[in-house]
Chains A and B, each alone.
Chain A
Amino acid sequence: MLKVDAIDVFYGDAQALDGVSLQVHEGEIVTLVGSNGAGKTTTLRTLSGLLRPRKGAITISGTRLDKTPAHKVVSLGVAHVPEGRCLFPQMSVWENLTLGAYNTSAWNDRAEVMERVFRLFPVLKARSTQLSGTLSGGEQQMCAIGRALMARPKLLMLDEPSLGLAPNLVEMIFQVIAEINQSGITILLVEQNAYLALQMADRAYVLENGRVTLSGPGREVAANENVRQAYLGL
Chain B
Amino acid sequence: MIIQLIEQILNGLVLGSIYALVASGLSLIWGSMKMLNFAHGELYMLGGFATYYAMTLLGLPWWLAIPLAMALVLLVGFGIEKLTIEPLLRRPGWDYTPIIATLGLSIFLQNAALLVFGERFKNLPYFIEGSGTYFGIRMAYQRLLILVVSVAVIVLFAQFLQRSKLGMALRAVAQDRDAATLQGIDVRGTYMWTFGISGALAALASAMVAPIFAINPWMGGTLLIKAFVVCVVGGLGDLRGAILGGILLGTAESLAVVLLSSEWKDVVSFAILIIVLWVRPSGFFGTKEW
Interface centre among A70, A75, A98, A104 (most CB of B within 10 A): A70
User: Using a Cβ cutoff of 8 Å, how many contacts connect chains A and B?
Assistant: 72
User: Residue of A at shortest CB range from B93?
Assistant: A12
Indicate whether B282 reaches chain A with its CB closer than 8 angstroms. no
Distance in angstroms between the alpha carbons of A128 and B181 in the assembled complex: 23
0 or 1 for each of A79-100: is its CB under 8 Å from B? (1 = yes): 1101000111111000100111
Complex interface: chain B residues within 8 A of A74 (CB): 182-184
Complex interface: chain B residues within 8 A of A82 (CB): 178-179, 182
List residues of B whose CB falls within 8 A of some A CB: 165, 168-169, 171-172, 175-176, 178-187, 288-290
Asked whether, in the complex, the Cβ of B288 is within 8 Å of the Cβ of A71, the reply is no
> Would you mind naming 7 contact pairs between A and B with Cβ atoms under 8 Å apart?
A50-B182, A71-B187, A74-B183, A89-B289, A103-B183, A104-B184, A151-B183
Asked whether, in the complex, the Cβ of A86 is within 8 Å of the Cβ of B185, the reply is no
Indicate whether A164 reaches chain B with its CB closer than 8 angstroms. no
Indicate whether A69 reaches chain B with its CB closer than 8 angstroms. yes
Complex interface: chain A residues within 8 A of B181 (CB): 48-50, 70-71
Interface centre among A80, A99, A103, A147 (most CB of B within 10 A): A99
List residues of A whose CB falls within 8 A of some B CB: 48-50, 69-75, 79-80, 82, 86-91, 95, 98-100, 102-104, 147, 151
User: Residue of A at shortest CB range from B290?
Assistant: A90
Complex interface: chain B residues within 8 A of A86 (CB): 176, 178-179, 182
Asked whether, in the complex, the Cβ of A95 is within 8 Å of the Cβ of B182, the reply is no
Asked whether, in the complex, the Cβ of A88 is within 8 Å of the Cβ of B178, the reply is no
Cβ-neighbour of B178 out of A50, A98, A104 (below 8 A): A50
**Given A98-B168, A99-B168, A102-B165, are A88 and B179 also a contact pair (CB < 8 Å)?**
yes
Interface centre among B169, B178, B288, B290 (most CB of A within 10 A): B178
Asked whether, in the complex, the Cβ of B289 is within 8 Å of the Cβ of A147, the reply is no
**Given A82-B178, A88-B172, A99-B168, are A151 and B289 also a contact pair (CB < 8 Å)?**
no
User: Residue of B at shortest CB range from A70?
Assistant: B181
Complex interface: chain A residues within 8 A of B187 (CB): 71
Distance in angstroms between the alpha carbons of A48 and B184 in the assembled complex: 10
| Given A87-B176, A99-B180: 5 more A-B contacts, CB < 8 Å | A48-B181, A71-B185, A72-B184, A79-B182, A95-B168
Complex interface: chain B residues within 8 A of A75 (CB): 184
Asked whether, in the complex, the Cβ of A91 is within 8 Å of the Cβ of B172, the reply is yes
Interface centre among A48, A75, A87, A102 (most CB of B within 10 A): A102
User: Residue of A at shortest CB range from B188?
Assistant: A71
Distance in angstroms between the alpha carbons of A74 and B184 in the assembled complex: 6
Cβ-neighbour of A100 out of B169, B183, B288 (below 8 A): B183
Distance in angstroms between the alpha carbons of A129 and B180 in the assembled complex: 20
Complex interface: chain B residues within 8 A of A102 (CB): 165, 168-169, 183-185
Asked whether, in the complex, the Cβ of A69 is within 8 Å of the Cβ of B186, the reply is yes
User: Residue of A at shortest CB range from B178?
Assistant: A50
CB distance from A65 to the nearest CB of B (A): 13
CB distance from B253 to the nearest CB of A (A): 31
Distance in angstroms between the alpha carbons of A102 and B172 in the assembled complex: 11
